[in-house]
Structure 1
Amino acid sequence: MTALDPRQIAKIMGGDVIGRDAVNVPGPGHSKTDRSLSIKIGSKYPAGFVVFSHAGDDPIECRDFVRDALGLGSFRGEQEQERRRAPLSVVVNTGASIVNDKNKDWALQIWQQSVDPVGTIVEGYLRNERGLELGTDIAGRVVRFHGSLKYDQFRRLPGMVCLMRSILSDEPVAIHRTFLDRDTGAKVDRKMLGPAKGAAIKIDPHASLDGRLTIGEGFETTHAARHAGFKPAWALGSAGAIGAFPVLRGITQLTLLKEIDPTSDLKTNECAKRYLRARRHVKVITPNVGTDFNDVWKASQR
């Protein structure tokens, strides 16, 4: 199959090019102004592209909808022809790498579609619910706003989207979504998307590391620590991620934001022991108010 051109796809399907290899177009049965169907182009995909519906449409229907629009015919029909021509073979594949690649693509598409959070419900959530200022240094670079995140098959909610980068390579690989109530601005839920293992919300850039690093679980907890002067800082997303945090070259002093929770206690100690064995300085901060450092910060502002 010939290489697909995003500009040609956008022209044929009445959509918009959103990246070097990505297009948003109207989904099947949607209006011409709709842009709920994302198309990611790549030779690694069996059809030459992969689709993701932000409206929850059936992925098989969306894939064939795109193929029909581009004159490529039914993917099922093409597969059947190839099956008849090919010799019998057995392929064993767990599908883990394919799923990770697909989720990474979806995550980064959502990140690309998200916008500067200044003046949005995200800024209000951080200030009113968490006692935190967004900060122009992280707005758009680390934190963005999305007005319609798919929460479940029935609901789409606005939310805060944080970019997660590989701890070692700094490559963007996943996102962390905080779903917010459209009316009150309060947190509804949190979810990660993409291969988040071995990744972090690098609130301060990797290049800014100066021998010191503070790590915590949640973005809000870690950002609160930054307000108190603990910089540079990264949020890892979970206690398990803290427990698995590797010893990084150049880090001579690690500060761990412990939470009042048995799992946090266990995983924080695992990480601390790893760094101590590597002859690095370790500081563990335990909250004396509430359950995490954000609670401590909010109490200090009253």
Structure 2
Amino acid sequence: MRMLARCAFDDAQPIRGTLAQSYFESRDLWSVAMEIEDIRFHPACPRESGEHPAVVIAMRSISSRAVTAVQRLFLDRQGRKIGKGMMLGTCSGAAMQLQPKIGSTLHIAEGPETALACIAMDHAPTWALGSTSLIQTFPVIGDIDRLVIWADHDPLQKIGGIWCRPGHKAAGVCMDRWLKAGKQVEVETPKREGWDEADVWSARCARL
């Protein structure tokens, strides 16, 4: 799976002038996405039901920065997203490192759109992890002293017989680990249920 992920990323192309540009423009994220080399476009990316156009984002090992997985955002012929993102490869211990680490603060979010919105709002550097489970298991990084978790404000869901908000739960588990390591941690969540920071950014852009 790791090799398939690497091949999908290597075969992908820059996003300018593609359906990926149309998608990010529709989310008011193009000015940020266009600057990130790890975000690419694949016109016929493999998936279970065949091949489809997709945004392909590298997921790099946190320890080595090698590409071990990719996040795929499948698009229709009008550049609209089809379903949820799908990861391929070895995702554990990896992240969409949309910006290089600078200084001792790092921001993390679940989806790449949410992370791009954080960057657009001048919260940098920001990485995307792709799922609540990867936020929950996000490892302590030695040279990062302050972690900011941009959690989705998920509706209540029953998981394992317990009602919870998945985004809040994952952020809490991650926060506990980092606090025990002596780090500073902040959790930010939109006030509106069902929203993430990408929704906040879109609403802000709509008011301009």
Q: What is the TM-score when the length of structure 2 is the normalising length?
A: 0.88
Query: Would you say 1:104 and 2:7 are equivalent positions?
Result: no
Higher relative CO (Cα under 8 Å, sequence separation at least 6) belongs to 2
* Other-structure match for 2:44: 148
4+ aligned runs moved over 6 Å, structure 1 = none
| Structure 2 counterpart SS, 1:147 | strand
Question: 1:156 & 1:170 partners in 2: Cα distance?
Answer: 27
Question: Is the contact between residue 256 and residue 268 of structure 1 (CA under 8 Å) also seen in structure 2?
Answer: yes
In the alignment, does 2:108 pair up with 1:210? no
Which of structures 1 and 2 has the bigger CA Rg? 1
**1:274 alignment partner AA:** R
Matched residue, 2:30: 133
1:71-122 deviation line (CA, Å, top 9, x unaligned)? xxxxxxxxxxxxxxxxxxxxxxxxxxxxxxxx11111111111001111110
1:185 aligns with 2:79: yes
Out of 151, 162, 169, the residue aligned to residue 64 of structure 2 is: 169
Match of 1:61 in 2: none
**What root-mean-square deviation, in Å, do the aligned CA atoms of Structure 1 and Structure 2 show?**
1.3
Deviation, 1:266, is 0.8
Quick check: 1:257 aligned with 2:169? no
Alpha carbons 2:117, 2:198 under 8 Å: kept:
yes
Higher mean C-alpha deviation, range 272-281 or range 195-204: 272-281
Conserved? CA contact 2:58–2:96, under 8 Å: yes
State the number of aligned residues: 193
Q: Is the 8 A contact 1:151 1:179 kept in 2?
A: no
More strand by share: 2
Asked if the contact 1:288–1:296 (Cα under 8 Å) also holds between the matched residues in 2, the reply is: no
Which residue type is aligned with residue 102 of structure 2?
L
Q: Determine what percentage of the aligned residue pairs are the same residue.
A: 34
Q: After TM superposition, give the deviation of residue 279 of structure 1 in Å.
A: 2.1
Is 2:20 aligned against 1:122? yes
Pair 152,134 (structure 1): closer, same or farther in 2 beyond 3 Å? farther
Please report the TM-score for the alignment, with normalisation by the length of structure 1: 0.62
CA deviation after TM superposition for structure 1 residue 215, in Å: 0.3
Measure, in 2, the Cα distance between the counterparts of 1:238 and 1:252: 23
Deviations 1:181-221 (CA, angstroms, capped at 9, x unpaired): 11x2111132111111111000002xx33100000111000
Q: Which residue of 1 aligns with 2:132?
A: 239
Who is 1:272 aligned against?
Answer: 175
Tell me, in whole angstroms, the C-alpha distance in 2 between the residues paired with 1:160 and 1:267: 25
Gaps of 5+ in 2: 155-164
Partner amino acid for 2:151?
K
